[in-house]
Chain A
């Protein structure tokens, strides 16, 4: 076990080595014990970066020249009992991390214990939970964004009968991290019920049971409490929100809709107005072997819901407002102009088709061809401002689901993917983007971006273990930083090694900017549940969005190391 460390445990002169040995011994002991009855499992991941100054790309090294984020989970389970703890370390946090409140130091970021007996599950401590798709309540962790609004309190889950599910939660939300997680001021309480009709009442719906159809209905109520000490205004101390949802499924169809309503909730994000809020989302999908179609729409009106009125956009969110925009996987479209929900007011639509041209058809060829077409558009909500409202502080009036004049976003993309021979696969993607950067990224005065992107990806297998993958990406626009081109090549030696090199080139196009290259090289090693990777080079400033806001990862130059392991 100690073979991979340079010094044997017990003879180590450095306390650091001894502490590793200690940790290993402890884990070993726990594992041994685990074989008796319970089990201990966990994972570990870390991202470290050594920074250089790089004036050309605007990268400034922090005073420590160094950043390290690390997380380690340990979970114990025995029968119906489960307990776990997550240790986190930010010594200091990586540049631009996290999205919201500051993380610093090392300590416990999450701990819980839960017990399940028959139909009842009780959790104390931290937990993640969501009601429906989250319009009124969702606590979750998005580690790579630095979003974690875990509840700290009590959760009950109870299933009184087959197909009937009840949940109750109470607690405060995780906020920042200072040698341990800190909590927000507000108290969050919620209940949720869901019934799956054909499971709960099979005799009432014999036809549905027979044909494999189902209807699930759900409802929830959430309320937050935060004291009112304002000398001038009567602020609501208890702000309630309720939601209702329905999901109808057949073998081919899936209809989902969710509605949410929130009472007056003046807060820093909505301009402290006393309007009520509401949200509606609906989504229909039809799919059968080789074909998938979906269409969706939503409207959000004044739906920022936080457990502290004064919290910043990323912090202490109680609900989650999903965007309909496709999350791209290629580097340029994923991190240059991604869309983020506008929770104060938005009307959005989405449509998507996946189709597989079968083998042996004219378009399918020998191996088949896959086509994906996706479109999403988002607009402002049509509102009329209420002027000089010094009595009710309503801010504005609006009609439900009425689209405004201002377009925030649209994305039309088409992807063709084809295996052209036994050892070659190609994918061609086109993306047309309209992006209101002033609204989405909060950069007032900047003009709307109109961009076209073309991406070619290829994969060639030399042997059944070695392959080369490449991407060539191009973005053309006359706005913002102008044109970009990206080339990537990745050589893999399965199952352990890969090397990759990428260059992004911002060459401006018609925009007068400096021409800047962003070269970066990566080496990775994978063994079982562990992955190590090291990169050196320039990283372009990127945008990561969640909910209503985008986290900006600043440009950086230096060495990055990432390690993840699961045990």
Chain B
């Protein structure tokens, strides 16, 4: 018997051990399930940790865009430019690579335990820690799988960003964020509100091209500032019940790094303070 055991194992392995794939794109509709705001389903915050001098980063940005277009607007992308190696300006303005895309909140995030990127590009999907790898910082090949695992699940919260009003006297943007509680929850929860700017034309290194310095490169969903601090504000200290709604109010002046307010959006998300996992997220453009 044992004489044949390894032989049988060998044949079985050779037959079953190889999935040769010629055309990797899944034969599925190009648009996935889109539930939209207010449906009671979870949306996903995809944070792309990147840098304009990181020449292997553009494929990650493209992957984020693919995932976003697959799930309509149920995936909200934030590009966080970080690290001095990849994001510090190289030349004085107005030379190439002279813009500093980094933000205080981005800098604080990547120096916090559990958020330190081992390399770029890397990203976080709802800031959720991968069960087997034990890290929330995932390479971009793993983003779609991590997104699929949580998107559309029943949500504990909704996040509603009300109409953003521009007050021309104080030159502030005034808006409310309301968080309706959809399930009884216990534990601490914070609400973080931040500002992104889309379609920023600037330099980018891209190793796929020769020369690798590209201009103008279309930087998408660039993190500009945190409205209420790097870690947001506490909205639930220990528990909340179905039917509760937590209202917050902001009067916000745009930071000086914003180029075109019309391309800006407010992103708001609720996360558990013990695990940092983002439970729900919403986005609203300034002019929307």
Contact = CB atoms under 8 A, between A and B. Distances in A.
Interface of A: 101-102, 120, 156, 158, 160, 166-168, 175-176, 178, 182-185, 189-191, 221-223, 228-240, 263-264, 266-268, 271-272, 274, 308-312, 315, 385, 387, 390-393, 442-445
A174 to B, nearest CB: 12
B21 interface: yes
A221 B16 CA distance: 12
A264 B21 contact: yes
B32 interface: yes
Given A191-B6, A230-B144, A231-B148, A444 B21 contact: no
Q: Which 10 A/B pairs are nearest by Cβ-Cβ distance?
A: A223-B17, A268-B139, A240-B18, A310-B142, A236-B19, A272-B141, A240-B17, A185-B132, A231-B148, A238-B19
18 contacts: A158-B5, A178-B134, A223-B17, A229-B145, A229-B149, A230-B144, A231-B148, A232-B25, A232-B26, A232-B67, A233-B25, A235-B21, A238-B17, A238-B18, A268-B140, A272-B139, A392-B24, A444-B54
Contacts of B118: 312
A445 B10 CA distance: 48
A67 to B, nearest CB: 16
B23 interface: yes
A240 B14 CA distance: 8
B13 interface: yes
Interface in B110-140: 118-119, 130, 132-135, 138-140
A271 B56 CA distance: 8
B192 interface: no
B133 A308 contact: yes
Contacts of A443: 85
A232 B143 CA distance: 10
Given A160-B3, A230-B148, A385-B208, A266 B17 contact: no
Interface in B160-174: none
Given A182-B134, A310-B139, A387-B208, A189 B17 contact: yes
Interface in B30-69: 32, 53-56, 59, 66-67
A542 to B, nearest CB: 19
A54 B9 CA distance: 57
A231 B10 contact: no
B19 A101 contact: no
A267 B141 CA distance: 7
B8 to A, nearest CB: 10
A222 B9 CA distance: 11
Contacts of B86: 444
A230 B134 contact: no
Nearest to A224: B17
A315 B20 CA distance: 24
Given A264-B21, A274-B24, 20 more contacts: A120-B2, A166-B6, A167-B6, A178-B134, A182-B134, A221-B10, A232-B66, A233-B24, A233-B25, A234-B24, A237-B19, A238-B17, A240-B18, A268-B142, A274-B21, A308-B132, A309-B141, A312-B118, A315-B133, A444-B54
B145 A230 contact: yes
A116 B149 CA distance: 45
Give the contact-size bracket for chain B. 35 or more
Contacts of A232: 25-26, 66-67, 70, 144
Given A191-B10, A271-B56, A310-B139, A223 B16 contact: yes
Residue among A184, A232, A266, A391 with max Cβ neighbours from chain B (10 Å): A232
A391 B23 contact: yes
Contacts of B141: 266-268, 272, 309-310
A543 to B, nearest CB: 16
A232 B151 CA distance: 14
B22 interface: yes
B147 interface: yes
B140 A272 contact: yes
B28 interface: yes
A167 B7 CA distance: 10
Interface string B68-98: 0010000000000000011000000000000
B4 to A, nearest CB: 10
Contact of B17 (A221, A267, A274): A221
A232 B70 CA distance: 8
A489 to B, nearest CB: 39
Nearest to B86: A444
A444 B25 CA distance: 32
B9 A168 contact: yes
A266 to B, nearest CB: 6
A264 B148 contact: no
Contacts of B85: 443-445
Contacts of A444: 53-55, 85-86
Given A189-B13, A221-B13, A267-B141, A239 B18 contact: yes
Nearest to A272: B141
Interface in B183-212: 208
A463 B19 CA distance: 68
